[in-house]
Amino acid sequence: MLVEVACFNKEDAIIAYENGANRIEFCSNYSVGGVSPSLDDVDFVLERVHVPVTVMLRPKAGPFVYYEDDETEMIKYLHALHQMPVDGVVFGIAYTENWIDNLKFWLQRIHPFDLTFHRALEDYPNHLETINQLQALGVRRVLTGGSSLGVMHHLSELIHLMDHAPKEIEIILGGGIRANDIVTLKEYSQIQWIHTACFDKSKNRLDQQELQKLIRLSSVAPE
């Protein structure tokens, strides 16, 4: 089982890498679920982290709805990212009647980066149908926790989803996963990637001990 770690500052990204993260999702501002980090911080992380790094494209907190001013800022940000060796972009878009056209607009601008469809699937009416549509559009990964209640609350539903989803799309389970959940998650061979922040709200930092425990348990072969 591979571990993607959401890091909300450059120092935590280094710590996650040094403690065995398989991939870094780099963003900022944990309190709002992550927004785009500064380009200077992206550059800092890329120079020091030697596992894949994906970068969040989200200009502000709130629903995944973007207006003209947001789009201008996001396109400018993407132009800068295209000059950097990032491994993908993390992005969500709200469900509307024309969500496919909206997503096509952004996929054209995100290309050639891989896209992780980030925590938006939860608000779509039919998760499996949406994943099939995302795969057909060329989306590489989907990060989902089932709802704001998180992975462990929706585990049976998520396993069913993974059983029936196209194999070409990578489904990452993320939402409230902690070290104590790993033994249960490893019972399911369908789960190849998990996503965690291991965030200590009291310190506003990554909980290094929790992450070490989670990664250690994730790497233990099942009996």
Given pLDDT bands bounded at 50, 70 and 90, which one contains residue 220?
confident
- Is the pLDDT at 221 greater than 70? The verdict is no
Asked if residue 222 has pLDDT above 80, the reply is no
pLDDT at position 148 is 87
Q: Look up residue 207 and give its two tokens.
A: 């909980």
What are the domain boundaries of the chain? 2-219
pLDDT digits (tens, 9 = 90+) for 144-163: 999 889 999 999 999 999 99
- The mean pLDDT value for 168-182 works out to 97
How confident is the model at residue 194, as a pLDDT? 98
pLDDT of residue 65: 93
Identify which of 176, 20, 167, 6 has the alpha carbon closest to the alpha carbon of residue 90: 6
Angle among Cα 74, 60, 193 to the nearest 5 degrees reads: 85
2-219: CATH topology: TIM Barrel (3.20.20)
* Average pLDDT, integer, range 158-182: 96
CA-based torsion, 194, 119, 46, 108: positive or negative: positive
How far apart CA 215 and CA 32 sit, in angstroms, is 25
Which residue type sits at 19?
N
Contacts of residue 217, defined as CB under 8 A and 6 or more positions apart, other chains included, come to 179, 182, 183, 186
Look at residue 130 in the predicted model and tell me its pLDDT: 97
